[in-house]
Structure 1
Amino acid sequence: MNRILFICTGNTCRSPMAEGILRKLMAERNLTGYEVRSAGVAAYDGTPTSDHAASVLKERGAEGPPHSTFLSQPLIDWSDLVLTMTSSHKRHAIQLYPAAVDKIYTLKEYVQDDPAETAKLAELESFVSELQLKQALAQPITDAEQARLRTLGAELPSPDIADPFGGPLHAYRRCAEEIEACLIKLVTKLQASE
């Protein structure tokens, strides 16, 4: 897995921070042979990276992409691993590029190292897929199924990294800390696989 693609909504905040922070962590640990990019499911090509995201990256001695990139088939084809910031980004990417399902994960899901939590997450995703199929077939979702969905969801920490877009600088710093904690696990995982 030498080509890693991060995905968020507009590719101006979270995914550029993930791209820049991962490059810095890889350089610090002499982890070579990897390429890192980012894109957005609703990005407008060429939109500048958020000022706060750029400031947070600079504070950390990292540098992200200067502008946004729209998620496209060539980027999906280029990547070996696609890491999204939220489960909705993951679903969106899989709906657009179903052949890539085996390489698309949320960042938190991919670095998860608790087997019990991983099993619960797999159970939740399977159940959500069943419910989506029922909806597609115009079948009603029962009260019991809705209750089970709530229960499964409540048993897990959020798989999402919240969007700091439009928020104050400290929100971007918190977001970067959360991303970096996941990326440290990612780097450890990549080093273990070498």
Structure 2
Amino acid sequence: MCTANICRSAYAGLRAPTILSPEITCSSSGVQAGPGRPLDPQMAAQLTVRGIASDGHRSRRTEAADIRGADLVLTMASWHRTLILEEWPEAVTRVFTLPQFVASARTAPAIGCPDPSATIREAYRHRVPARSVGDVADPYGQGPQAAVACAVTLDRLLVEVDDLLAPILPPRRAVD
């Protein structure tokens, strides 16, 4: 999740199926999204470079069903996480910023566990403060270099998530 669902979360939602193991499904939304907006052109260009079509993406607002139905909720910034938890405090054990989840799960004893839910529980038990690991920088309106940096960051974090939640294969260290 991000703000408008036209840059970070939209990119991650479209890129994830090419990085994550098939057992892991995801969707994207924005906490302040206006419905039906296309992907930001700079981020769309990053997907195109990676061979992924983005013309079908339309932004959508985060809804209660998104939170209640998810095993794991990953936000792009700590303020997104705070907003989600203010509305749905019962989801506290499943809501992280993307960098926070990766950092927390990497230090958790259940790393490499074949049960993704155990990894998520352990990440919560050993969570690092969201602000201590930073947010995924918002590239909106910042030009092509910011979009490249955001895409590279998201690709790296998605590989990490896959290594943490689907550790059947040897961990990868570079993006395809």
The TM-score with structure 2 as length reference comes to 0.77
Name the one with the larger strand percent.
1
Q: What is the correspondence of 1:101-140 to structure 2 with a 5 Å cutoff? A: 101-112=92-103, 113-114=106-107, 122=128, 124=129
CA contact (8 A) 1:21 1:63 kept: no
Aligned equivalents of 2:71, 2:153: Cα separation in 1: 23
Structure 1 residues 188, 63: closer, same or farther in 2, change over 3 A? Answer: farther
Q: Tell me the residue number matched to 1:140.
A: none
User: Is contact 2:5–2:59 with CA below 8 Å preserved after alignment?
Assistant: yes
Q: CA-to-partner distance for each residue in 1:11-42, whole Å, 9 max, x for gaps? A: 0000011112211113xxxx223321001011
Q: Distance in 1 between matches of 2:84 and 2:126?
A: 22
**Partner residue, 1:182:** 157
Are 1:61 and 2:36 counterparts?
no
CA deviation profile, 1:90-118 (whole Å, cap 9, x unmatched) = 10111111121111001001111257xx8
- SS of the counterpart of 1:38? coil
How far apart, in 1, do the equivalents of 2:3 and 2:135 lie?
A: 12
Structure with the higher helix share, 1 or 2: 1
**Structure-to-structure mapping, 1:135-150, within 5 angstroms:** none
Letter in 1 for 2:138: D
Supply the distance in 2 between the matched residues of 1:33 and 1:121 (Cα, whole angstroms): 24
| Alpha-carbon distance in structure 1 between the residues aligned to 2:50 and 2:164 | 22
> What's 1:38 paired with?
28
Match of 1:192 in 2: 167
Which residue pairs with 1:15 in the alignment?
9
Q: Does the 8 Å CA contact 1:24/1:61 hold for their aligned counterparts?
A: no
Task: Answer whether contact 2:43 2:147 (CA < 8 A) is retained.
Answer: yes
Say whether 1:84 aligns with 2:75.
yes
Secondary structure in 2 matching 1:48: coil
Unaligned runs of 5+ in 2: 109-122, 170-176
Partner Cα distance (2:92, 2:136) in 1: 20
SS in 2 for 1:42: coil
Percent of aligned pairs with the same residue? Answer: 28
> Given residue 95 of structure 1, which amino acid in structure 2 is its aligned partner?
E
Q: Judging changes above 3 Å, is the alpha-carbon distance between structure 1 residues 59 and 74 closer, same or farther for their aligned structure 2 residues?
A: same
Q: Deviations over 1:65-108 (max 9, x none)?
A: 61111011011122111000011111011111112111100100
> Runs (4+) of structure 1 moved beyond 3 Å?
118-122
How many residues are paired up?
151
CA distance in 2, matches of 1:167, 1:52: 9
Point out where structure 1 has 5 or more consecutive residues left out of the alignment: 1-6, 126-152
Root-mean-square deviation (Å): 2.4
CA contact (8 A) 2:2 2:8 kept: yes
Contact 2:107 2:126 in 1 (8 A): no
Inter-partner Cα distance in structure 2 for 1:121 and 1:104: 11
